[in-house]
Structure 1
Amino acid sequence: MFYKKLNDATEFVAGDHTKLKEIMHPLHDNVSIGYSLAHARVEVGQASLPHQLKGSETYYILDGKGEMHIDNKSFEVNKDDVFLVPPNASQYIKNIGQKDLVFLCIVEPYWQEEEEEIF
């Protein structure tokens, strides 16, 4: 069994400039899973840096309004939207709303710094 409160996770600025709280990661928590789960936040008017991961990334938008860019496509995202970023796709997300853009991010296989490239 695993249990953690979001408020117990420390927020930090990730390499792509999103504000992250790592919720569950097999290398840092006592869990045997093949993915990692993070809570992310992009402030009003800000965007993550373009980047790509070797694995896939699933986003679930919790609050706010954003514009997601994956390779040469872009689309608006809002609360309760879910989408998958395929492995090796160039991506970034921009907050186009009036409040923080907040989302959960599942990375599979679990996130590792050496498997992410920032542009």
Structure 2
Amino acid sequence: MKIVRREQKIPFEAKDGSEIRELLKSESERMSLAEATVHEETKLHFHKTSDEIYYILEGRGVMEIEGERREVSEGDAVFIPSKKKHRIYSGKNEKVRFLCLCAPPYSDEDTVMV
């Protein structure tokens, strides 16, 4: 059994500008804790092969996929197919924290900035 504690993982900045802590990774998927800070957005990007699921843990924001924007908040899940341009905006006075599940696992090489 593998248990990972958030505090044990050092955050890094992903290519899209979000703060990431990689929690678990296997050959077929990866789960990370991600955060967009107050009044900011991640950079518009897409993944060549990875599908993503965002699960909003805390805060409010706006999810954009291929130009369509929808409000998201705690408890919402968003499916992002590969090759679809996307980003998330944090709320006006709060950050948005979310779990990001990627299959196959996230890699910088798979991420294309727009």
- TM bucket by the smaller chain? over 0.9
Find the residue that maps to 2:62 and give its secondary structure.
strand
Residue deviations 1:46-78 (CA, integer Å, cap 9, x gap): 000000012100000000011000002110000
Residues 1-119 of structure 1 aligned to structure 2 (within 5 Å): 1-26=1-26, 33-54=27-48, 55-119=50-114
Q: Which runs of 5+ in 1 are unaligned?
A: 27-32
The TM-score normalised by the length of structure 1 is 0.91
Moved over 3 A (4+): none
Distance in 2 (CA, whole Å) between partners of 1:95 and 1:113 is: 22
Q: Deviations over 1:5-55 (max 9, x none)?
A: 0110001111100011010123xxxxxx41000000111100000000121
Q: Structure 2 regions of 5+ residues with no counterpart?
A: none
% identity of equivalent residues: 25
* TM-score computed with the length of structure 2 as normaliser: 0.95
